[in-house]
Amino acid sequence: MLNPVSVNALEFAKQMLEIHGRIRASYFSGVREALFLGENDVSEVRYELTGEKGHKRRYALRLVLDGQLSLVCQRCLGEMIYPVKHTAWFELVASEASLPEDDDDEIDYLVADAELNLEQLIGQELILGLPLAPRHGEDGTAPDALCTNAMEVNKDQKPNPFSVLQELKRNT
């Protein structure tokens, strides 16, 4: 469990410090709602916050999240393992008034707060990385997720009538 950690964002970046650890995803209320909370819940995330030098000589923070979440599949309501691999880069600014006017969509800015709450930052980034409606694919697969009930759900489905017709057309 993560102890409440606050860092001085600017000093952290200037000294190029690093914090890393592990946290259960169920700790975050916004993430907990999407989790499949069973007895074998494996939803844990490793985090790493690193202070760095950013673009135009601004200081920056890099947050890396890695792990897996047990989500509720919206197709079968079973457990779906969803891998988390997320990197967020924040350039630090002194205040909201000093945000650059040429707002570059590829750069996220963060006010260099003297007490940046690491828990809130991790929770926000986890929520942003969640799929809106997690579910396995039509054929029981998904490119980045594995639904444990997918094959059971698809076993009882009849073949698509148009694909059957297509096969008949090919065979004649």
Note the pLDDT of residue 155.
55
Note the pLDDT of residue 93.
84
Question: Mind listing the pLDDT tens digit of every residue in the chain (172 residues)?
Answer: 455 678 888 899 999 999 999 988 877 877 877 887 776 667 889 999 999 987 778 899 999 999 988 888 887 888 888 889 999 999 888 777 767 776 666 778 888 888 888 888 988 998 888 888 877 665 545 544 556 565 554 555 666 777 777 777 777 6
Note the pLDDT of residue 143.
46
Contact between 144 and 84 (Cβ < 8 Å): no
Which tokens sit at 114? 């003297």
SS3 of the chain: CCCCCEECHHHHHHCCCEEEEEEEHHHCHHHHCCECCCCCCCCEEEEEEEEEECHHHCEEEEEEEEEEEEEECCCCCCEEEEEEEEEEEEEEECCHHHCCCCCCCCCEEEECCCCEEHHHHHHHHHHHHCCCCCCCCCCCCECCEEECCHHHHHHCCCCCHHHHHHHHHHHC
Note the pLDDT of residue 64.
95
Note the pLDDT of residue 146.
55
Note the pLDDT of residue 81.
83
Note the pLDDT of residue 57.
80
Note the pLDDT of residue 157.
61
Round to whole Å and give the CA distance between 110 and 61: 9
Note the pLDDT of residue 165.
75
